[in-house]
Chains A and B, each alone.
Chain A
Amino acid sequence: MNDGTIWLPEQASTLAPEIDALFYFVYWTSIVLFVGVVGAMLYFAYKYRRQHPGERPAPVKENKLLEISWIVIPTILVLIVFTWGFQSFVKMGTAPPNSYEITVTGEQWNWSFTYPNGTSITNELHVPVGRPVRLKMSSSDVIHSFFVPVFRTKQDVLPDRYTYLWFEATETGTFKAFCTEYCGTQHSAMDAKVVVHEQGDFQQWVKTGGGVADMPPAEYGKVLYERQGCNACHSLDGSDGTGPTWQGLYGTKNHPLSGGETVTVDANYLRESILQPGAKIAAGYGNVMPSNYNSLSERQVTSLIAFMKQQSDKTLDSGGAPLEGSAGAAQ
């Protein structure tokens, strides 16, 4: 396990050691050149400092050998660096044929990951250790960029086409991924957790749909509350955030909307608020809830609603909620 240095974070992919070696080659060469240039400058500034105003230094003759050498030597150095960088760049661009493919969608301001068996998860990328993984990425709005510092890899994610990025993790653990192409208000919050599992654990994780296959709805709703990023805007403890708190929300009668009218917060209203957040706006809040939750599965929506119900001790007679469906059964 490499813990990282002052310059670079820890290495957790097969590519990282090579990139780091090249980084340090350029780094040390630069230091030598820098010390040479600045050292000579300081030495001259001291040695030839003006001692009295009448000095008339004789002109220094040009020196062809010197001039040629300081053209040729740097040229050789940069050609070495170029060739080396070019080789590792080609390696980074060519995923091994046996790679495990995960589809990635970037969207202001979330990452969602879809596995070959249909399991899908937001803002968490789970991968196996010791196996090449290839991300097939696209964006549904503006340009984003997927960056995992410990893997030393990055690729822009474009709205009109697929781009690809691959890596092979060498360490298990939890790491961070960032969006590095500026994409608006929450750009800096558009990060994701990268969880590297042992191969067996990973198989298990995918099979159980991200470890949530058998969870009861309210419990699954709690997981989604975090995974889907609802927690960024909605609190559970009554405190105010970008959006209204969920504490005591369900069951509220005469819930005020921005237009002045009121509604009863039942399962239908919650469902509509999740799937079409712009349709009814809670009074005192902006229309800023992301509209991309309409891609949540039926199970996910009902689980979220079940979880929200748990956050309130109010109740409604089920007559008010004809479409409650399976969510009601969970309570």
Chain B
Amino acid sequence: METKERTEHPPQGSPPGREERLEHGDDLPPGHEAEHNYLNHEKGLMSWLTTIDHKRIAVMYAISLSVVFLVAGLLALAVRMELFTTGETIMGADMYNQTFSMHGIMMVFLFLVPATPAVLGNFVLPVQLGAKDVAFPRLNLATWYIYMIGAFLVIGALIVGEIDTGWTFYAPYSTSDAATTADGGAVMFMTMAIFVAGFANIFTGLNFIVTIHKMRAPGLTWNRLPLFVWGMYATSLVQVLATPVLGITVVLLFVEQLFSIGIFDPTLGGDPILFQHFFWFYSHPAVYIMILPGFGIMSELIGTFSRQRVFGYRAIALSSVAIALLGFLVWGHHMFVSGQSAVASIIFSLITYLIGIPSGIKIFNWVATMYRGSIWLQTPMLYAMSFLFLFTIGGLTGIMVGVLSVDVHLHDTYFVVAHFHYVMMGGMMIALLGGMHYWWPKMTGKMYHELTGKIGAALIFVGFNVTFFTQFILGSQGMPRRYYDYPVGYETLHQISTVGSWVLALGLFSILGNAIWSLWKGPKAPANPWAAATLEWTNTTSPPDPHNFHHTPLVTRGPYDYHLADEVFGEGGDGYSGDGAGDGSARVPEPPEPEPAAARS
């Protein structure tokens, strides 16, 4: 039996680290932490609006992004409601078209693309690096303002005109005033708003790249970086390289509109397929901006809650970077039936497969990490397992739509809608929710309600599958996407899907309730409730000090060396510096100065 070799050490409380510290009473240094942490060391609205603390900026982003998610989510419920019956259910065709367009635009450009870097990246990344802040704290604050301006401009665009183009803005529908309910002007306004919001991403990406290169704590070599940092690094590369293309596209739209120079609009001599190339040259990498942070979160969750070193660390780290770079070469798989050349389609299909492989490898690695672990089924781990379930379906159906001739049948049907919801919602959003539960105690200093958390995870899992699995069947049966009305034959499946969306919404609201409960009367969080081994858990309090650490941590081992837990958590407190090198690499002698227990007081 495996447990034999796994439990050589006498039990030391649950989980390692937590009880010990509670007993010793050194979890919250008396009279210290409760008074002084990043949340309470300054007070008042202005102290937030002018803060350059990466943790506070993360919190401000979390609030803004939650509002965006709520609005975009309610729009989705309205879309599903309209599809409950054939014909008009709750709104007319134009209203429906605007609703799904705004849902897509807000979810993609204002939520999924910025969400994880802005909230978890901002909060966790500098702490995981053992840094006091990001490299450019003022720039970091500026990104929040830029994002907010972008978000308000999106609302402005709604006032200027009725945007009903879908999130893809295909020309000439989006550019010709005659053909469209929205006119070209409103579309220009909207694309510009998106580009402004995109600037926030460029700056965040730049900031992270420099931070990761320059601000790692002593001993934190590239091979010891937590995989979340690797995920953020790959994401940042894509953000910096891809987002400018969006800018170029917006400029070209302006030039065409203002000077009537034909670029995309065929009535002026332009080429509408060129627009699709521009759009996907940005938007396919953007799907990786959305998923790579999720990969990073997954590695942290699976490692921590399996108490195993993440299997194939190097493969996971490098495949993220490989995906980031190869991701620039597959945009044409969105255009197999657009009229682009067959040769181009064939090449894009081949590269699409090559990029599917690294994603598959990651899945295998995560599952292998659970082998011979000690699997602790807390809420974040339930999300991680949901992710494995849902993202595997998303990835495999990605392979399905990457098959040239099969995609001819499936393109622009609900099958594609289901595919990208399985990867974006089932993948990224689930990972983000798991990550939010995981880091919630660190961010707020409060625990959430565990059982409610588990029920929420289960409701979301069930609701999600009911909503979107039915859409695979709808799609392969031929139901086109972006349809206000549909033949009666599809009605039953649409109704099941709509009911699923209610369960999903219920699950999401239960999380909101849990969060409010936790802030209001949740129990105080210990510094390391999960017995995790990365710096944000081992070397600082919950919530952290305004400067994260009193002394720069010294790193002497890998991020997932849980087998050293006794040394790490049991004895010298919870610092990296308290143990020997676990992986046989050169042991950095423990300096007397940054002894963690002393460091905190």
A residues within 8 Å of B by Cβ?
A: 4, 6-9, 15, 18-19, 22-23, 26-27, 30, 33-34, 37-38, 40-41, 44-45, 47-60, 62, 66-67, 70-71, 74-75, 78-79, 81-82, 84-86, 88-93, 108, 141-143, 145, 147, 149-150, 152-156, 158-161, 163, 176, 178-189
When distances are taken between beta carbons in the complex, the residues of chain A under 8 Å from B78 are none
Contact partner of B372 among A60, A158, A180, CB < 8 A? A60
- B599 lies within 8 A of chain A by Cβ: no
Contact partner of A37 among B170, B388, B476, CB < 8 A? B388
**A50 and B376: CB pair below 8 A?**
yes
Residues of chain B in range 163-186 having any CB-CB distance to chain A below 8 Å: 164-166, 168, 170, 172-173, 176, 178-181
**B6 and A57: CB pair below 8 A?**
yes
Given contacts A23-B400, A180-B481, A182-B170, 7 further A-B contacts (CB under 8 A): A7-B477, A19-B405, A48-B306, A57-B307, A59-B563, A62-B312, A160-B271
Interface size on B, residues (CB 8 A): 103
When distances are taken between beta carbons in the complex, the residues of chain B under 8 Å from A81 are 353, 399, 403
**A160 and B266: CB pair below 8 A?**
yes
**B315 and A67: CB pair below 8 A?**
yes
**Mask: chain B, 370-382; 1 = CB below 8 Å from A; 0 = not:** 1111111100000
Contact partner of B388 among A41, A71, A79, A154, CB < 8 A? A41
**A48 and B373: CB pair below 8 A?**
yes
**B399 and A26: CB pair below 8 A?**
yes
CA distance A214 to B173 in the complex (A): 40
CA distance A269 to B178 in the complex (A): 25
CA distance A45 to B9 in the complex (A): 22
When distances are taken between beta carbons in the complex, the residues of chain A under 8 Å from B373 are 44, 48, 57
From known contacts A30-B396, A41-B367, A70-B360, infer whether A19 and B406 are also in contact, taking CB-CB under 8 Å: yes
**B11 and A52: CB pair below 8 A?**
yes
Contact partner of B338 among A71, A85, A156, CB < 8 A? A156
User: Which residue of chain B is the closest to A88 with respect to CB atoms?
Assistant: B405
**B406 and A23: CB pair below 8 A?**
yes
CA distance A52 to B375 in the complex (A): 10
**A49 and B392: CB pair below 8 A?**
no
**B377 and A45: CB pair below 8 A?**
yes
When distances are taken between beta carbons in the complex, the residues of chain A under 8 Å from B176 are 141-142
When distances are taken between beta carbons in the complex, the residues of chain B under 8 Å from A86 are 346, 349, 404-405
When distances are taken between beta carbons in the complex, the residues of chain B under 8 Å from A150 are 478
CA distance A147 to B409 in the complex (A): 8
CA distance A155 to B407 in the complex (A): 11
Contact segment of B204-212, B458-466, B483-491: B483-491
**Mask: chain B, 325-347; 1 = CB below 8 Å from A; 0 = not:** 00000000000111100100110
Contact segment of B12-20, B437-445, B544-552: B12-20
When distances are taken between beta carbons in the complex, the residues of chain A under 8 Å from B592 are none
**A149 and B477: CB pair below 8 A?**
yes
CA distance A153 to B337 in the complex (A): 10
- Of the A-B pairs whose beta carbons lie under 8 Å apart in the complex, a sample of 27, sorted by A's number, is A9-B478, A23-B400, A30-B396, A33-B392, A37-B364, A38-B389, A50-B375, A50-B377, A51-B374, A53-B14, A55-B3, A56-B8, A56-B307, A56-B562, A57-B308, A60-B308, A74-B356, A75-B357, A85-B406, A89-B405, A91-B405, A145-B337, A158-B339, A160-B272, A182-B173, A188-B484, A188-B486
CA distance A15 to B408 in the complex (A): 11
Distance from B7 Cβ to chain A, minimum over Cβ atoms (Å): 5
**B480 and A48: CB pair below 8 A?**
no
Distance from B170 Cβ to chain A, minimum over Cβ atoms (Å): 6
Distance from B110 Cβ to chain A, minimum over Cβ atoms (Å): 21
CA distance A180 to B478 in the complex (A): 10
**B404 and A85: CB pair below 8 A?**
yes
Residues of chain B in range 1-36 having any CB-CB distance to chain A below 8 Å: 2-3, 5-16, 19
Most central of B311, B339, B361, B562 by chain A CB within 10 Å: B339
**B374 and A181: CB pair below 8 A?**
no
**B173 and A158: CB pair below 8 A?**
no
**A44 and B396: CB pair below 8 A?**
no
**A156 and B337: CB pair below 8 A?**
yes
When distances are taken between beta carbons in the complex, the residues of chain A under 8 Å from B377 are 45, 49-50
Most central of B15, B375, B409 by chain A CB within 10 Å: B409
**B173 and A55: CB pair below 8 A?**
no
Contact partner of A74 among B165, B360, B393, B409, CB < 8 A? B360
Contact partner of B374 among A55, A75, A92, CB < 8 A? A55
